[in-house]
Homo-oligomer: A and B are copies of this chain.
Amino acid sequence: MIIVLGPDHQEEDLQRIIRRLEDLGLRAHISKGEHRTIVGAIGDERILNELPVESFPGVESVLPILKPYKLVSREMKPDDTVIQVNGSAIGGPQIQVMAGPCAVESREVLEEIADALVPSGVHFLRGGAFKPRTSPYAFQGWGEKGLKYLAAVRERLGMMIVTELMDPRDTVLVCKYADIIQIGTRNMQNFRLLTEVGNIDKPVILKRGLCATIKEFLMSAEYIMAQGNEKVILCERGIRTFETETRNTLDISAVPLLKKLTHLPVIVDPSHAVGRADLVSAVSKAAIAAGADGLLVEVHVRPEEAMSDGPQSLRPAAFKTMVEECRRVAEAVGRSM
């Protein structure tokens, strides 16, 4: 950490900072310039992250040198983390597609959708039994009944289940049915929920918050890993910007950037990113070209009847075409799908 003292600082301010650093087991390295005096804190600066160094008398600004995360960083673990789920690997050479409706609506519709995914070779069925909805008057999901419908599909078709956990009180229940737990965008900084899924032994898809920086995103993954759960899958799903033609703005450069900064698998949710079915295929191909390890896509047999997110759901035929096109891109970048 670099501590910059302003032009008006006193000698005692400097001495106080030096003592404080030494008390913490760090060494202070002083460099007096023409305009500013600079103190470099030598040692593991992460100790300092939680100190209000900017409030120390005489301090003008503080510049961190090291990243605030550790377990998730590639510096810590250079090799890719590959997560095995029932024979399918996430983060390896094969790109995984997770697809299904936004919400589990009824047993019949869910079965119909799942059947329609089979020809595209989908191994992971997504579907929400607990739904975070902006309006208190909107459909909130079927709860355990929905989880049972998902389990029935797994039983029948062998697909693995990806479903969202919204409330720490439902952890045991959701884990009973899910193969992969999803933490939604709005809960990326629900730290109690992160701690909860840090203590289970299931893979967790962590969706990036609507306006979370890459650093905050990785800190939330660090929360989960710090509890002991190393099976974290990062999901870029669009950030909020000034542009309103699309629901959100897919941060495509986040994909290669995350692959550099962390060893964890990175997938993309094109459906929430763009919010309109007609753009999903193009950005899915882009995600794969940029290095994503998987896709999380909304598919519905009748989007015009969907209980949520209809406008961004693909019909099975469009989905099938998309998977074929994505496969060609995957091969062009040396992956399979």
CB neighbours (8 Å) of A4 from chain B are 65
Q: Is the CB of A243 within 8 A of B250?
A: no
Q: Is the CB of A253 within 8 A of B282?
A: yes
In Å, the complex CA distance between A250 and B33 comes to 35
CB contact between A54 and one of B260, B279, B311 (< 8 Å): that residue = B311
Q: Is the CB of A253 within 8 A of B241?
A: no
**Number of A residues whose C-beta is below 8 Å from B?**
110
Q: Is the CB of A42 within 8 A of B52?
A: no
A121 within 8 A of B: no
In Å, the complex CA distance between A189 and B209 comes to 11
CB neighbours (8 Å) of A122 from chain B are none
Q: Which of A4, A51, A279, A328 has the most CB of B within 10 A?
A: A279
Binary CB contact string for chain A from 276 to 293 against chain B (1 if under 8 A, 0 otherwise)? 111100110111111100
A1 vs chain B, min Cβ distance (A) = 10
Binary CB contact string for chain A from 147 to 169 against chain B (1 if under 8 A, 0 otherwise)? 00000000000000000001111
CB neighbours (8 Å) of A307 from chain B are 50
A86 within 8 A of B: no
CB neighbours (8 Å) of A52 from chain B are 303-306, 308-311, 313
CB contact between A245 and one of B31, B54, B213, B286 (< 8 Å): that residue = B213
Q: Is the CB of A136 within 8 A of B226?
A: yes
CB contact between A192 and one of B49, B167, B289, B306 (< 8 Å): that residue = B167
In Å, the complex CA distance between A166 and B187 comes to 12
In Å, the complex CA distance between A295 and B121 comes to 34
Q: Is the CB of B42 within 8 A of A34?
A: yes
A257 within 8 A of B: yes
Q: Which A residues contact B (CB, under 8 angstroms)?
A: 2, 4, 7, 29, 31-36, 38, 40, 42-44, 46, 49-52, 54-57, 63, 65-66, 68, 75, 132-140, 166-169, 186-187, 189-192, 194-195, 210-211, 213-216, 219, 222-223, 226-227, 239-246, 249-257, 260, 273-274, 276-279, 282-283, 285-291, 303-311, 313, 325, 328-329, 331-333
Apart from A244-B244, A289-B289, what 19 extra A-B contacts exist at CB < 8 Å? A2-B38, A35-B66, A36-B66, A50-B308, A52-B303, A52-B304, A56-B304, A68-B134, A68-B135, A135-B222, A140-B191, A211-B242, A213-B245, A241-B251, A243-B251, A249-B249, A250-B253, A282-B291, A289-B290
